[in-house]
Amino acid sequence: MARRKKVYEGKAKILFEGPEPGTLIQYFKDDENGPEAGSGANVAPISAASEGKGVLNNRLSEFFMAGLNNIGVPTHFIRRLNMREQLVRMAEIIPLEILVRNFATGGISDRLGIPEGMGLPRPIMEYYFKDEKLGTPLVTEEHIIAFGWGNQQDLDDMVELALRVNDFLSGVMLGVGVRLMDFRIEIGRVWDGDYMRLILADEISPDSMTLWDLRQPERADGSVPEPGPLSDVYAELARRIGVLPSNVTHVSKPSLIN
């Protein structure tokens, strides 16, 4: 019985070869200093704040991706395997982080002086080139086409996909008293024979979203505070959505394939 092959290790996840060609296993780590970061002998302690984060992100990403699959938005998600792992369809990732903004916060407020929390006149899409050495820089559609990361048809399809994801996520979040300020996704290509299509890949979790809490507790004087960032975001979102597993802090090692 051979140990399965690690394909890639990033900050949040480890990818292993899946049981069938064209599949991958995503293992959700707690953080970059989590159990799989080092050589294995010296396991770095996991900070209390991030303990169980990988377990929660695995559940949350499953919940959102399965929901999207159900309404006909294609994603890479196949099924969850265990507390920290899910089986996904392997895709050829387009090297972009696609950010959809509904309300101003972070970069757009800093860059353009738009007040934090302001509703935007329409969802605004931004593209960032997925290269950490370069600091994941903002790029335009011109760059995407000129450098061959995608053509005009891909861009149209990416916008359509991102907007459907936005409507679904915004609605689900609103249902649990959370405002989806912005979120980012990764999109990949898959082939069915000669036919290529774009699917949602990577993950949908608090790591890639800005969430504000619409259920602020009433103050002593009876006034209700303005919405602000959702605190304890992983556990709180998992609790509200209803996917909080009973044993959140259990840390499992990647299992062996049979």
| Binding region for Mg ion (CB under 5 A) | 12
Q: By CB under 6 A, is residue 209 in contact with ligand ADP? A: no
Which of 201, 233, 237, 238 contacts ligand ADP by CB under 6 A?
201
CB of 7 to ligand ADP, least distance (A): 8
CB of 208 to Mg ion, least distance (A): 7
Token readout for 72 is 């006909």
Minimum CB–partner distance for residue 25 and Mg ion (Å): 16
Q: Is 15 in the site for ligand ADP (CB under 6 A)?
A: yes
What's the DSSP call for residue 43?
P
Is 202 near ligand ADP (CB under 6 A)?
yes
Residue 158 within binding range of ligand ADP, rule CB under 6 A? no
By beta-carbon proximity to ligand ADP, the closer residue of 104 and 158 is: 158
Given candidates 37, 65, 83, 90, which one binds ligand ADP under the rule CB under 6 A?
90
Q: In this chain, which of 37, 65, 78, 88 binds ligand ADP, going by CB under 6 A?
A: 88
Query: Is the separation of the CB atoms in 86 and 25 below 8 Å?
Result: yes
d(CA 49, CA 46): 8
Nearer to ligand ADP, 8 or 191 (CB): 8
Question: Torsion angle, CA of 248/36/11/94, rounded to 10 degrees?
Answer: -100
Amino acid identity of residue 128, one-letter, is Y
Q: Is 177 left (phi over 0), alpha (psi -120 to 50) or beta?
A: left
Is residue 254 near ligand ADP by the rule CB under 6 A?
Answer: no
Nearer to ligand ADP, 94 or 104 (CB): 94
Give the residue from 100, 75, 101, 102 showing the smallest Cα distance to 88: 75
Least distance from ligand ADP to the Cβ atom of residue 223, Å: 40
What minimum distance in Å lies between the beta carbon of 226 and ligand ADP? Answer: 32
Q: Which two tokens stand for residue 163?
A: 């907007």
The 3 state secondary structure assigned to 181-211 is EEEEEEEEEEEECCEEEEEEECCCCHHHEEE
Which of 162, 77, 88, 154 has its CA nearest to residue 126?
Answer: 162
**Residues lying near ligand ADP in the complex (CB under 6 A):** 8, 10-13, 15, 24, 76, 88-91, 93, 186, 188, 201-202
